[in-house]
Structure 1
Amino acid sequence: MANIYGPVFHILARCRYDGNGCGAQEQGIKVPLENKFHDMVFGLVYDTFKRTKASKRQSISVNVIYASLPINYPEYIDRDCSSILTLDIFPTDDSVVGLLGAYDNLPRYHHNCVELGRLARLQVLPLRFNSLTGPIPTALSNCSNLQILQLSRNKLVGHIPWEFSKLSNLQNLYLWENRLNGEIPSSISNCTHLQIILDLDSNQFSGTVPLEFGKLLQLQKLVLWGNHLVSGSSSLPILEALTNCSSLEYIDLSLNNLTGIMPSTVGLLSTSLYYLGLALNELEGYLADEIGNLTKLAELQLRGNYFNRTIPSTLSILPNLERSYLNNNNLQGLIPRTLGQAKRLGLLALSDNMLSRQILDSLGDIPQLRVLLLHHNQL
């Protein structure tokens, strides 16, 4: 037998122990990648499904099975895997990454068990950290029970399928570090259960951020940094749209092509917001005083823009602010004396601006301050 392996195949199978050997005894098994174990491994995968009656496959006692899947052993995989809850495929090392082949060809290797669109009960699909190529299959939209889709750090190209709007149970969507492009489809807002949405950083998405995201009332995290997104108007309308998301905790729109001014509606964002990232864009004008309403804010990332007014004194009333990055802008005037009241501030970056006059003694009153960057100003 040739010593050729496909990717590691990790199944969380729906299975209940019924006295026939399927269940608890197999939980947590990790099988060495040696030829002499092939029959045992794939007999075990096979038995996990075969020894469980169809009626009991709808009950759940999650078992974890690890196996190295030889390409020439498809006959060991049960033909009926519609009850799989979680399917996780990942490479063991660089030598097996290429064996997975293009994403669209995945069923060619595991056609009896991994025709993804036919896994009607599938809830979790983590395929991150592979070398998957090609477009995202639209067939995934047939997995109507899918809750978590993790395709990050691959080499996927093309657009996000608009058919994803059918995934009404989707809660978490991770697509970061791929080569995806085009506009982000507004139809994703139909996935009303999205909680950690569109971790889409480090792609090539263009166009505006869909205002329809404001309809995602359960939204907790929006990460879109490192794309080519634009504002759509002079006042960042996406920030106003997101004021409807009362559970929002994390926004990162950094490293895009956003232009315009910071709207006063920034102060109406969720009171749970602890991170606001708008760094490395082309925003200008003033920093809205209303930012002082974000009482849970712990980190403010505004570096690398063109803000050219004064620093708002309301920053000092943010009781949980720990890190404030305002460096590499065109901020002018005095450093507000009230910043000395920011009791939890540990990092204050004001370098590479146009701040003038003396360095205030009140900055020494900040008890937690460990990093203070003031170089390249007019102090």
Structure 2
Amino acid sequence: MPKMQSIDISSNRNLTGRLPEFPLISILQVLSLYGTNFSGKLPESLDNLKFLTHLDLYGCNFFGQVPSAIANLTNLVYLDLRHNYLRGSIPKSIFKLPRLEELYIGYNNFDSLKLDMFSQLKNLRGLDLSNMSLSFNAIDFPKQFPRGDANSSIPMLRWLLLQSCNISTFPEILKSQENLEYLDLSNNKISGAVPNWVWKKSLQYLSLSNNHLSSLDQFLSNQSLTSSQGSSPRPICNLSQLWYFNASYNNLSGSIPNCLGNISTLYSLDLQGNNFTGFLPNFVKAANLRILKVNENRLEGKLPRSLAKCTYLQVLDVGNNMMHDTFPFWLEKLPALKVLVLRENRFYGQIKRFKRKLFFPALDVLDIASNEFSGELSIDSLQATQLRSLKIGENKLEGKLPRSLAYCTKLEVLDLGKNMIHDKFPFWLEKLPSLKVLVLRANKFYGTIQVSVAENAFPMLRILDLASNNFSGELSVEFLQCLRAMMVRTDGNKAKLDYIGEENYQDSVTIVNKGLEMVLEKILTIFTCLDLSNNSFHGRIPEEIQNLGSLIVLNLSHNSFSGQIPPALENLKELESLDLSQNKLSGKIPPQLTSLTFLSALDLSYNNLEGSIPQSNQFNTFSNDSYRGNPRLYGPPLTRKCNEVGVPPSIPGEDVDSLVDGISDWKIVLIGYGCGMVIGLCIGYTVLNEMGNKWHDNCKRNGKRNGRRSR
């Protein structure tokens, strides 16, 4: 019976434990443990596998040093040790392996490495040093690395990965690497223009993302676009084999090269997060284009109709630009389109019922928020029942909520905030089996909240935002009983960072506390929020709210709730933010609330509370603003003594200074101090990034609707 020549158990996460000692297996040539859960140290007995040609240990949990015995694997062609916890020095003997063609050792904790050792690998074709703790910089990196020219023993590289290496210049080795196919220089500190010698005709994969680049070529930076023979071609236009190009999040400006639309092999183009201006190029010849991301630039004009010919297109993201166009119904027949993002542009017009049906057969995400769409909201003619995320907030849409949404049974995120929709609470959405996020904020919804108490009502809903509407009546126990997903506690599993979204689109949500809007760029699946602020709810806060044990944010401010604060709120053990301000609550602050040790933000201002403020745990960290407007409260942090109670509260007005106070209160949450961990993990872009005119204007525009308060 012959012995095995190959063992491939890659991507099997059920395989755990340490690797056994290897016997002398004379024929074994391939050992792949890619993505398994093996751990421990690499066994010295690896050298028994003398005929091994491929060793793939990517993404396991191995630690310790690489055994020097690996040098005995003289037939080794492929060695992948990436994404482990290996440390110490790389054995020098590895650089003497005579047949080694691909060496991937990035994302470990190796000590310093002398790069001239690579000159001994005469057959080297692929090299990954990503995230290596090496002293790469603009001065010594080109000198340390051997040049791939006729005077060097190192051959022509085809794959070079130097991601997150702290380098600040393009390595000069690239000048002579005419066969380079795969180049990753992302997440470094490279600035200025891309040298013309970087653009190799052989390049198929190129990532320059997250650097400080200002121009895609030196011609532009030198402003020498013409010659005596006419216009000089841009070097980037020579990439006839390119299928992946990522230059996202740099400082690139000017126009997007039109020639990118003529590369027939182009599969993915990502230019998001730059300063590109002008128009999108026509993608006449880019018939294989799957992914196009140009969001977060300053592009103008209309969407090029040539995109309708990109029949393989899956992702189209032009969000956060200045494009001016009507809704692109002409994209409806693209059979593979899954993600369509138009948000924060100047798209306009009505999305109304057409005589014929509109088919988006594969659409998973539709994000058209923050535009100028108007008229009645109607998606009856939009046959996209497979939608997972629908965001149409911050437009001028009106009318009633389309009942056809009840057929979107895969819907996870529905954001209709900041429109003019006039309707009752959409209790008919209760049977959507996957709905996790429902945002109806700042519309004209009205009436009491009528919901069913069926066992399957809102089975997955974890974020419900009904703020700034005209809802009224008492907060019913039946309503709270519907929010079953908010009752399931995480039991300390906050470290499990699963987010709502997918690879090519990250769902976000805006939460409001103390009158400040904060965008959670990523939504943890464990994040829970109930916001009923700025409505006309009255009566007592039901004690049954304690059953929502997984709540992280609870905002009942700016209503007419009366009676005492329920001591049962102490059972909301996950709570990080509690806002009960501007109600008619009375009595003492329950001392039981001091047991909420995750609480990072508290606002009880402008009620009729009395007595001493509890002094324990998190309550020792809250400022005066948490209690202002309660003249019968006393004790720290208030300077008022018990014999000074009864001073009339100041009236909430339009004092912008209170916003700054609010920002200070939120710093604990935003930068991760205290226990505001979930909000801290989710927060991406916050008001701390733009404390100037944007928020000042926003406050003026939204007024009381945003629940702003001042001194």
Q: Deviations over 1:34-89 (max 9, x none)?
A: 59x54x2332233331xx6xxxxxxxx94547698998x97xx4763333212233
In structure 2, what is the equivalent of residue 287 of structure 1?
541
Does structure 1 residue 121 correspond to structure 2 residue 336?
A: yes
In structure 2, what is the equivalent of residue 42 of structure 1?
261
Counterpart pick for 1:159 among 376, 379, 398: 376
Letter paired with 2:388: Q
Q: 1:326: Cα distance to partner?
A: 0.6
1:366-377 residue pairs with structure 2 within 5 A? 366-367=617-618, 370-371=621-622, 373-377=626-630
Distance 1:200 1:264 in 2: 25
In structure 2, what is the equivalent of residue 359 of structure 1?
612
Does structure 1 residue 255 correspond to structure 2 residue 468?
A: yes
In structure 2, what is the equivalent of residue 330 of structure 1?
584
Asked if structure 2 preserves the Cα contact closer than 8 Å seen for 1:345 and 1:366, the reply is no
Q: 1:205: Cα distance to partner?
A: 0.9
Q: 1:181: Cα distance to partner?
A: 0.8
| Partner SS for 2:423 | strand
Does structure 1 residue 344 correspond to structure 2 residue 591?
A: no
How many pairs align? Answer: 326
| TM value normalised by structure 1 | 0.76
In structure 2, what is the equivalent of residue 225 of structure 1?
441
1:102-181 residue pairs with structure 2 within 5 A? 103=326, 115-136=330-351, 138=353, 141-163=358-380, 166-181=383-398
Instruction: Give the percent of matched residue pairs that are identical in Structure 1 and Structure 2.
Output: 25
Asked if structure 1 preserves the Cα contact closer than 8 Å seen for 2:308 and 2:334, the reply is no
Does structure 1 residue 193 correspond to structure 2 residue 410?
A: yes
Does structure 1 residue 314 correspond to structure 2 residue 529?
A: no
Does the C-alpha gap of structure 1 residues 225 and 65 become closer, same or farther in structure 2, counting only changes over 3 Å? closer
Distance 1:23 1:242 in 2: 56
Letter paired with 1:117: E
Letter paired with 2:285: D
Letter paired with 2:339: V
In structure 1, what is the equivalent of residue 421 of structure 2?
205
Distance 1:225 1:32 in 2: 37
Letter paired with 2:373: L
Distance 1:173 1:23 in 2: 36
Q: Which structure dedicates a bigger proportion of its chain to helix?
A: 1
Point out the structure with max Rg over C-alpha.
2
In structure 1, what is the equivalent of residue 315 of structure 2?
86
Does the C-alpha gap of structure 1 residues 355 and 243 become closer, same or farther in structure 2, counting only changes over 3 Å? farther
Does structure 1 residue 27 correspond to structure 2 residue 245?
A: yes
In structure 2, what is the equivalent of residue 7 of structure 1?
none
Asked if structure 2 preserves the Cα contact closer than 8 Å seen for 1:279 and 1:304, the reply is yes
Does the C-alpha gap of structure 1 residues 166 and 333 become closer, same or farther in structure 2, counting only changes over 3 Å? same
Q: 1:349: Cα distance to partner?
A: 1.6
Distance 1:83 1:129 in 2: 25
Moved over 6 A (4+): 29-32, 65-71
Does the C-alpha gap of structure 1 residues 275 and 230 become closer, same or farther in structure 2, counting only changes over 3 Å? same
Asked if structure 2 preserves the Cα contact closer than 8 Å seen for 1:213 and 1:241, the reply is no
Distance 1:366 1:91 in 2: 43
| Partner SS for 1:187 | helix
Asked if structure 2 preserves the Cα contact closer than 8 Å seen for 1:170 and 1:191, the reply is yes
| Partner SS for 1:316 | helix
| Partner SS for 1:209 | coil
Distance 1:157 1:118 in 2: 24
Distance 1:206 1:274 in 2: 26
Q: 1:274: Cα distance to partner?
A: 1.9
| Partner SS for 1:292 | helix
Asked if structure 2 preserves the Cα contact closer than 8 Å seen for 1:132 and 1:156, the reply is yes
Does the C-alpha gap of structure 1 residues 24 and 246 become closer, same or farther in structure 2, counting only changes over 3 Å? farther
Distance 1:308 1:205 in 2: 29
Does the C-alpha gap of structure 1 residues 251 and 48 become closer, same or farther in structure 2, counting only changes over 3 Å? same
Q: 1:353: Cα distance to partner?
A: 1.0
Q: 1:118: Cα distance to partner?
A: 2.2
| Partner SS for 1:300 | strand
Letter paired with 2:621: R
Asked if structure 1 preserves the Cα contact closer than 8 Å seen for 2:567 and 2:593, the reply is yes
| TM value normalised by structure 2 | 0.42
* Structure with more relative contact order (C-alpha pairs < 8 Å, separation 6 or more): 1
Letter paired with 1:205: I
Q: 1:24: Cα distance to partner?
A: 4.6
Distance 2:608 2:301 in 1: 63
| Partner SS for 1:331 | strand
Letter paired with 2:400: E
In structure 2, what is the equivalent of residue 110 of structure 1?
none
Distance 2:455 2:533 in 1: 18
Q: 1:158: Cα distance to partner?
A: 1.2
Letter paired with 1:27: F
Distance 1:80 1:370 in 2: 59
Q: 1:136: Cα distance to partner?
A: 2.0
Distance 2:581 2:292 in 1: 49
